[in-house]
């Protein structure tokens, strides 16, 4: 085996892993705090990609500015979804079933809205200035934009951990996951906390879509493609576990990268095989799942 080829595939796998992590960490945050499994989460990835295309190719903005705006836009739409739709079913006995039906319906709605606004043809975004070439490290030529995505993904992981574990806002979010009624009694605006959490989670999905846009075509239906791998990541890591989402993303990213290189005709099966093996030997996932909520 060529060591340079292995390194290149490893970098490719890490790039996909960081994009998956941004999406899966949002899913994990929603499940761990809001107690919602959002099947439409991949649609916010698609919204982020299309907003990034609009801000860069149409409005002519700098890519990094467009990245932030795409995340904010996806987060805004996520908050609208939570406030006007999901909030109406909290606390019902049939909440889980309603969540599945409601969030799945949003996949279809958002896909059709995207086709109405942007059309059905493929869009593309150029890599940002300064990241169009390659970087030489220890004699190896590596794509600079891929390295930027890896660095940004790791930065998000560290910042998210610090916010959740060291800040008052993070402590409130964790307390919301444990006992909403007690937190409300203490004077915390629980509905606002849930809405902001939903907005942050969907913003992460939008940022992932904007980051991935220069690497692949922006097309309707892209959300469905990424949500499958993201769901596998969440199941692998343990439902609601942040570090589990990171580890699951690394595993699936590398598995996909090397499967595409060596067995391209069967590449799509390997993610499912990994999930099956993990579920057989550790059904709760590689990390412990989130604690059971009282409310």
Measure the CA angle with vertex 171, ends 166 and 175; round to 5°: 155
**Rounded-to-integer distance, Cα 19 and Cα 153, Å:** 7
Closest CA to 204 of 18, 36, 65, 80: 18
H or E element, residue 134: strand 134-137
b/e per residue 271-283 (b: at least 16 CB within 10 A): beebbeebeeeee
Q: Where are the alpha helices (DSSP H) in the chain?
A: 3-29, 41-53, 63-84, 95-118, 144-166, 168-178, 180-185, 190-212, 222-237, 242-262, 267-281
**Rounded-to-integer distance, Cα 194 and Cα 173, Å:** 8
Per-residue pLDDT of the chain (295 residues; tens, 9 = 90+): 677 778 888 888 999 999 999 999 988 888 888 888 888 999 999 999 999 999 998 999 999 999 999 999 999 999 999 999 988 887 665 667 788 888 999 999 999 999 999 999 999 899 998 898 888 776 677 889 999 999 998 898 888 888 878 888 888 887 887 778 888 888 888 889 999 999 999 999 999 999 999 998 899 888 887 888 898 999 898 887 888 899 999 999 999 999 988 888 888 889 999 999 998 998 888 886 544 444 3
């Amino acid at each position: 085996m060529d060591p340079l080829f292995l390194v290149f595939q490893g970098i490719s796998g890490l790039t996909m892993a960081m994009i998956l992590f941004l999406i899966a960490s949002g899913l994990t945050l929603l499940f761990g705090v809001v107690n919602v499994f959002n099947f439409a989460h991949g649609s916010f990835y698609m919204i982020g990609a299309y907003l990034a295309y609009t801000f860069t190719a149409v409005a002519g903005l700098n890519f990094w500015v467009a990245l932030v705006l795409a995340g904010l836009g996806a987060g805004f739409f996520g908050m609208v979804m939570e406030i006007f739709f999901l909030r109406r079913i909290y606390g019902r006995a049939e909440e889980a079933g309603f969540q599945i039906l409601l969030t799945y319906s949003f996949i279809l709605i958002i896909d059709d809205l995207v086709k109405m606004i942007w059309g059905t043809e493929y869009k593309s975004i150029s890599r940002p200035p300064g990241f169009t070439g390659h970087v030489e490290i220890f004699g190896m030529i590596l794509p600079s934009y891929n390295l930027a995505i890896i660095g940004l993904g790791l930065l998000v992981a560290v910042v998210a951990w610090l916010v959740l574990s060291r800040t008052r806002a993070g402590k409130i979010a964790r307390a919301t996951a444990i006992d909403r009624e007690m937190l409300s009694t203490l004077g915390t605006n629980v509905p606002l906390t849930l809405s902001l959490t939903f907005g942050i989670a969907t913003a992460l999905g939008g940022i992932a879509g904007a980051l991935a846009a220069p690497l692949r075509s922006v097309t309707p239906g892209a959300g469905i493609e990424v949500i499958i791998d993201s769901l596998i990541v969440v199941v692998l890591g343990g439902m609601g576990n942040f570090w589990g989402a990171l580890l699951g993303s690394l595993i699936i990213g590398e598995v996909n990268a090397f499967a595409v290189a060596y067995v391209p005709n069967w590449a799509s099966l390997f993610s499912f095989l990994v999930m099956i093996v993990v579920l057989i030997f550790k059904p709760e996932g590689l990390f412990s799942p989130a604690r059971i909520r009282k409310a």
